[in-house]
Structure 1
Amino acid sequence: MPHLIVEYSRNLDGFPEARALEELNQAVTSSPELADEADLKSRFVLADSFQVGTVGAGRAFVHAQLRLLAGRTPEAKQDLSGRIADVLRRLTPRPPGVMVQLSVEIVDMDRPSYVKERL
């Protein structure tokens, strides 16, 4: 815990994944909601096959999901989603003629069923 998964559409060429991972991890781990920076696992997932709405071209997306153990206040979740959105807003490519949708979701994970170990 936590897990940060960022999905984005193939038509966002040049997405600076390495830089974004560094900045996203810094933004999230600087929150008082995270006790140990080593607990954050972040990754990008490229969507090769996608469609936004009913139009086949001229649209793209970036969607971030931060999965946390349940128990954070709504204000803490809003702060975390804002931190993530700020980074992605700055770093997401904006190809000419392409409408890009950005979304961030905070997901509560069930504490009793979650297993985590350091091996």
Structure 2
Amino acid sequence: MPHIHLEYSDNLQNLQAEKVLKAINLCMFDGGYVSAASDVKSRAVAQSVYMVGLGEEPQAYLHAKVSLLSGRSNELKQQISQQILQVLQQNLPAQTGLTVQVCVEIIEMPKESYSKAVIAAH
């Protein structure tokens, strides 16, 4: 835990999604938000069909959905959100002719209904 879903418009120039995911995972581990680096699961998807506003201006987006187990304080969730926002901004290459919206969304997953199994390698 947590699960991080990174979605971005495919018009972002030179975005290295794997590098961004590693930076987010490192942020979560170095920040002490997880006890083991392997607790963070992240993935990225480039969206080819999207619209920002009415599609009249050249715009792009980078959006991280961070799913956390319930029970964390609002202050801690805000801290995680701000840390990941900073990581996204630091790893977004300069964009020519594009306005980019960078967002982080914290989603709570109820502890009572979350299930997990770890199947060790043979």
Report the TM-score, using the length of structure 1 for normalisation: 0.92
Q: What letter corresponds to residue 88 of structure 2 in structure 1?
A: L
CA distance in 1: counterparts of 2:102 and 2:78, whole angstroms? 15
CA distance in 2: counterparts of 1:32 and 1:87, whole angstroms? 15
CA distance in 2: counterparts of 1:37 and 1:48, whole angstroms? 31
For the 8 Å contact 1:67–1:106, the answer to whether it is kept is yes
> Could you tell me which residue of structure 2 aligns to residue 73 of structure 1?
73
2:44 counterpart SS class: strand
Deviation at 1:21, TM superposition (A): 1.7
Deviation at 1:36, TM superposition (A): 2.4
CA distance in 2: counterparts of 1:4 and 1:40, whole angstroms? 8
1:98-109 pair list within 5 angstroms: 98-109=98-109
Report the TM-score, using the length of structure 2 for normalisation: 0.90
Query: Unpaired segments of 5 or more residues in structure 1?
Result: none
RMSD of aligned C-alpha atoms? Answer: 1.3
Which moves more between the two structures, 33-42 or 58-67? 33-42
Deviation at 1:110, TM superposition (A): 1.1
For the 8 Å contact 1:12–1:94, the answer to whether it is kept is no
Q: What letter corresponds to residue 42 of structure 1 in structure 2?
A: S
> Could you tell me which residue of structure 2 aligns to residue 96 of structure 1?
96
Query: Unpaired segments of 5 or more residues in structure 2?
Result: none
**Percent of matched pairs sharing the same residue:** 35
> Could you tell me which residue of structure 1 aligns to residue 52 of structure 2?
52
Q: What letter corresponds to residue 107 of structure 2 in structure 1?
A: V
> Could you tell me which residue of structure 2 aligns to residue 16 of structure 1?
16
| Number of aligned positions between the proteins | 119
For the 8 Å contact 1:6–1:45, the answer to whether it is kept is yes
Q: What letter corresponds to residue 106 of structure 1 in structure 2?
A: I
1:81-92 pair list within 5 angstroms: 81-92=81-92
